[in-house]
């Protein structure tokens, strides 16, 4: 009999903004948000303490804005505000699913959500609440992947689950190269040395230095979140010696 208890006690889920976009070309598909929220509820019901960092690429990308001539710092701040919108939408979906959650922003917005304060965040987790971290690190020039690794370290998470549009890490973009090699496991050094671009180097280094396993999977596949949380789904595991690190 398969043990339904997930092997990780406290984890961080990194969602791209595109994950909330569904098949649309822009914005938030609330049907997708509701589906993700239902999967999150099932994980929380199993006793997992969960943090979430959501990107903003479905609304605005700082790098894209900078490429079009916008000041990079200004563009990144706009991107941070986009993550807050996504976080509020996901928080709304979690509420409909019956999940007690809080949005905490690195940019103070007291009339909209809580400001990120680490001791308060840890108290929320201890009470079984799901935390949604918004606005990245609050600083320009840092990606939401780096924010995810940073928050995972601060919250004492042992794993960072990165939900993407593909079912793991490939040697090249499988959408452009269908025969690209797929990896079941990698070390942190593999990712850095091969420049695989699954996460930026700062995020990978933070995960490595804090022994946080990174699990890359497809959030677009219904049920995949629960499967990978139980150690059963299709994914790529990045960690020491290419296997998951400490699980408790």
Q: Is 86 helix (H, G, I), strand (E, B) or coil?
A: helix
Per-residue pLDDT reduced to its tens digit, 173-228: 898 999 999 999 999 999 999 999 899 999 999 999 999 999 999 999 999 999 99
Band of the pLDDT at 242, cuts 50, 70, 90?
A: very low
Mean pLDDT of 82-86: 96
Quote the tokens at residue 64: 């894209």
Residue 152 has pLDDT above 90, yes or no: yes
pLDDT of residue 241: 55
How many Cβ atoms from other residues are within 10 Å of residue 170's Cβ? 20
First to last CA, the chain: 22
Confidence (pLDDT) at 135: 97
- DSSP label at residue 13: E
For 223, which DSSP code? T
Q: Which residues contact 4 (CB under 8 A, 6 or more apart)?
A: 46, 230
Q: Extract the runs of DSSP E, i.e. beta strands, from 5-77.
A: 10-15, 49-54
For 134-169, the DSSP string reads ESTTSSTT--HHHHHHHHHHHHT-SEEEEEESSSSE
What percentage of residues in the chain have a pLDDT greater than 70? 94
Query: How far apart (Å, rounded) are the C-alpha atoms in residues 29 and 210?
Result: 34
Q: Could you tell me the domains of the chain? A: 10-242 (3.40.1160.10)
Q: Cα–Cα distance between 79 and 71 in angstroms, integer?
A: 12
CA quadruple 185, 189, 193, 199: dihedral positive or negative?
positive
Buried b (16+ CB within 10 A) or exposed e, 97-107: bebebbbbbbb
Q: Return the DSSP state at 194.
A: H
Percent composition of the chain: helix, strand, coil (DSSP 3-state, to 5)? 40, 20, 45
The first and second tokens of residue 247, run together, are 């699980």
Q: For residue 244, what pLDDT band results from cuts at 50, 70 and 90? A: very low
Pull the structure tokens for residue 136: 């990245």
Interior CA angle at 26 toward 21 and 29, to 5°?
Answer: 35
């Amino acid at each position: 009999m398969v043990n339904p208890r997930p092997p990780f006690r406290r984890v961080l889920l990194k969602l791209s903004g595109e994950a909330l976009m569904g098949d649309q070309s822009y914005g938030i598909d609330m049907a997708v948000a509701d589906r993700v929220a239902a999967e999150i509820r099932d994980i929380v019901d199993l006793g997992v303490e969960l943090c979430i960092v959501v990107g903003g690429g479905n609304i605005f990308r700082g790098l894209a804005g900078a490429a079009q001539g916008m000041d990079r710092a200004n563009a990144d701040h706009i991107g941070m505000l986009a993550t807050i919108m996504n976080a509020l939408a996901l928080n709304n979906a979690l509420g409909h699913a019956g999940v007690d959650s809080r949005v905490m922003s690195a940019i103070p917005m007291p009339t909209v959500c809580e400001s990120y304060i680490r001791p308060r965040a840890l108290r929320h987790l201890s009470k079984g609440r799901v935390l949604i971290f918004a606005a990245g690190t609050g600083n320009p020039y840092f990606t939401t992947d780096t924010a995810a690794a940073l928050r995972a370290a601060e919250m004492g998470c042992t794993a960072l689950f990165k939900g993407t549009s593909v079912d793991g890490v490939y040697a090249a973009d499988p959408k452009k190269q269908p025969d690209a090699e797929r990896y079941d496991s990698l070390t942190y050094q593999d990712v850095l040395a091969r420049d695989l671009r699954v996460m930026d180097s700062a995020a990978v280094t933070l995960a490595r230095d804090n022994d946080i396993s990174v699990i890359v999977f497809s959030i677009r596949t219904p049920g995949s979140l629960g499967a990978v949380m139980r150690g059963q789904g299709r994914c790529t595991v990045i960690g020491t010696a290419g296997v998951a690190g400490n699980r408790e």
